[in-house]
Amino acid sequence: MSTLTALQEILIKDYAIPRERLMPDALLSSLGVDSLGMLELMFKIEDRFDLKIPGDPPTGLATVADVVAYVDSLITAGPGRHGPS
């Protein structure tokens, strides 16, 4: 499963955002995910992707695609970690 699909599933299941609004260029703030919601989303990403996010996420994460790219960079960097299953 791609990172995008896995992230979309989290946002559909836990944030009740309709799938059709979860385009890669969709702004998270317009989907109801504010700055604290973003921090909460990082917990869910850590669990879903078996990652450890060091400190706070970068402030520039605005769109769904931004988060996907960030998660992918963590997956690539993390030795011994595996991607979404």
Partner 1 sequence: MIGRRIAVTGMGVVTPLGNSLAELSANLGAGKSAVRRLAPSLAARLRSPIGAPVDFDATPRFDPPRLRMLDRVSQLALEATGQAVSHSGIDFRAEDLERCGVFVGSGMGGATTTDEGYQALYAEGSDRIKPYTVLAAMTSAAASWIGIDHGITGPNITFSTACSSSAVAIGEAALRIAAGAADVMIAGGAEAPLTFGVLRAWEAMRTLAAENLADPSASCRPFSLNRSGLVLGEGAAFTILEDWNHALARGATIHAELSGYGLTCDAVHITRPTVMGQAGAMRAALRSAGLDPNSIGYINAHGTATVQNDATETEAIKTVFGDDAYRVPISSTKSMHGHLLGAAGALEFIITVLSLREHLVPPTLHLDVADPACDLDYVAAGPRRVAPFRAAMSNSFAFGGTNAVLIAEGRQT
For residue 23, give every residue at least 6 positions away whose Cβ sits within 8 Å of its Cβ, in sequence order, or none: 64
* Alpha carbon distance 27, 53 (integer Å): 21
Tell whether residue 6 is a contact of partner 1 (CB under 8 A): no
Residue 57 or 71: the one with the smaller Cβ distance to partner 1 is: 57
Side-chain half-sphere exposure of 2, counting CA atoms within 13 A: 8
3-state secondary structure of 54: coil
Minimum separation from the CB atom of position 45 to partner 1 (A): 12
* Alpha carbon distance 82, 85 (integer Å): 8
Site string for partner 1, 17-46 (x = CB under 8 A): x--------------xxx-xx-xx--x---
* Binding residues among 41-80 for partner 1 as defined by CB under 8 A: 43
Minimum separation from the CB atom of position 16 to partner 1 (A): 4
Site residues for partner 1 per CB under 8 A: 14-17, 32-34, 36-37, 39-40, 43
